[in-house]
Amino acid sequence: MDDFSQPGLANYYGYAPSPANFIKPFKRPMSSMSPILVTNSNGQVIFTAGGSGGSRIISSVAQVAIYNLWLGKSIRDAVDMPRLHQQLIPMEVELEKRFPVNVVHGLLAKGHTISGFRGGCVVQAIERRHSNELWAVSDARKGGAPDGLGYKNITKSFQNWFRRTFKRSKEQKLLEHEIKRGRSLTPR
């Protein structure tokens, strides 16, 4: 129920209640869900990511995208990098424990209040490599793994799934042939 706002109560992440998100019959709670799909100039998807973790979803997914697309980290390294989060209220920067000490000192020198990350966010992501291979990774912060592994080339798995899912049976091919010939089909 913490996905809804309640009058007078901040949520788990410290956000003040929002009247637009109060509990009402048949209402769904507002969501921070923010998946990303990035395409190249040919329209081919080269990166996709999504996450779970309340208000930390947006900052976590954005940081993974930045590490991978701008800084050239592999998808595994991008997901594994330590993260920070700042949501304006409360006015503090939350850091994961593994954050580089020099960055922490730099933030403190600029007057930021620092605290530990309350509640985690996990990110699932896929990148298309230059070799056209698809690589998937699930965040280890909550023990996730794509298809039983933490980092996997899913190109063959995807191709096999696609063939199995969209494989036409002999009967389907025969029906398509009959329809093309202009025959009407009636139920038996």
How buried is 78 (Cβ within 10 angstroms: 0-12 exposed, 13-18 middle, 19+ buried)?
buried
- The amino acid that residue 108 corresponds to is L
Nearest by Cα to 76 from 96, 49, 95: 49
Would you say 5 is a known binding-site residue?
A: no
| Cβ within 8 Å of residue 70, ≥6 positions away | none
Spell out where 103-182 has E strands: 114-116, 122-128, 134-138, 151-153
Would you say 32 is a known binding-site residue?
A: yes
How buried is 87 (Cβ within 10 angstroms: 0-12 exposed, 13-18 middle, 19+ buried)?
middle
Binding annotation for L-glutamate: 3, 31-32, 54
Binding positions: 3, 31-32, 54
